[in-house]
């Protein structure tokens, strides 16, 4: 059986340099979860439909289940572990908690990563804009109402404090 082509890649993950030899067919989500143990990135559908695997690559929210790890070579990757800490959550994370915007929590990391991109590009979104932006992130628990409420609350909070909407308060170690 022919061997699967592989490549050594270099990237930054949550501010830490990473070098990894990966099969060219390995999804970025697999590198993050199985190699780097960053299991906050969830895999729901594996086909770019649910948004649970959303991470940022060079500041852009992407589906890591259908992006090959080799495509992130040379990039800066940010996962949910690079957004806030347990002691100092990001305003979005605090708002999700305060407004009961999660139940099982499976969709939450992807929701937060997508919402971060939204608040960076549209700092004061309307409810309709939030719903539109998050429509690719599926949640089977909440009915979405409190998620929209939380994102709007975080927008108000970051606008009120002047804190950038995508500012992380800390990086988890790999």
**Cα gap 8→26, rounded to integer Å:** 12
Q: Beta-carbon neighbour count of residue 166 at 10 Å?
A: 20
> Does residue number 51 form part of the binding site for ligand FES (CB under 6 A)?
yes
> Does residue number 103 form part of the binding site for ligand FES (CB under 6 A)?
yes
Q: Beta-carbon neighbour count of residue 131 at 10 Å?
A: 15
> Does residue number 72 form part of the binding site for ligand FES (CB under 6 A)?
no
* DSSP state letter for 35: I
**Cα gap 102→76, rounded to integer Å:** 28
- Binding test (CB under 6 A) with ligand FES, winner from 21, 97, 141, 159: 141
Residues in contact with ligand FES, total (CB under 6 A)?
A: 22
Name the residue nearer to ligand FES (CB basis): 101 or 153: 101
Name the residue nearer to ligand FES (CB basis): 105 or 170: 105
> Does residue number 140 form part of the binding site for ligand FES (CB under 6 A)?
yes
C-alpha pair distances (Å), 92 with each of 8, 23, 81, 146: 35, 35, 14, 12
- Binding test (CB under 6 A) with ligand FES, winner from 22, 36, 119, 139: 139
Half-sphere exposure of 134 (CA within 13 A, CB side): 30
- Among the residues of the chain, which ranges form H helices? 28-30, 91-98, 108-121, 127-133, 145-161
Cβ of residue 34: shortest distance to ligand FES, in angstroms?
A: 14
- Binding test (CB under 6 A) with ligand FES, winner from 106, 109, 115, 133: 106
- Binding test (CB under 6 A) with ligand FES, winner from 8, 49, 124, 126: 49
> Does residue number 65 form part of the binding site for ligand FES (CB under 6 A)?
yes
Chain residues that interact with ligand FES, rule: CB under 6 A: 43-46, 48-53, 63, 65, 102-107, 139-142
């Amino acid at each position: 059986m022919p061997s699967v082509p592989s490549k050594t890649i270099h990237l930054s993950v949550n501010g830490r340099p990473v070098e990894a030899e990966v099969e060219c067919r390995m999804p970025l989500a697999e590198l993050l979860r199985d190699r780097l143990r960053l299991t906050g990135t969830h895999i729901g559908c594996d086909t770019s439909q649910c948004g649970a695997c959303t991470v940022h690559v060079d500041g852009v929210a992407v589906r890591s289940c259908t992006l090959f790890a080799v495509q992130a070579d040379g990039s800066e990757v940010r996962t949910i572990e690079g957004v806030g800490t347990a002691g100092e959550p990001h305003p979005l994370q605090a708002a999700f908690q305060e407004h009961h915007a999660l139940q099982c929590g499976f969709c939450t990391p992807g929701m937060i990563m997508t919402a971060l991109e939204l608040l960076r590009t549209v700092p004061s979104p309307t409810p309709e804009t939030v719903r539109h932006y998050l429509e690719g992130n599926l949640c089977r628990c909440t009915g979405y109402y409190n998620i929209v409420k939380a994102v709007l609350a975080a927008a108000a909070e970051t606008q009120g404090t002047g804190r950038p909407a995508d500012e992380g308060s800390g990086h988890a170690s790999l």
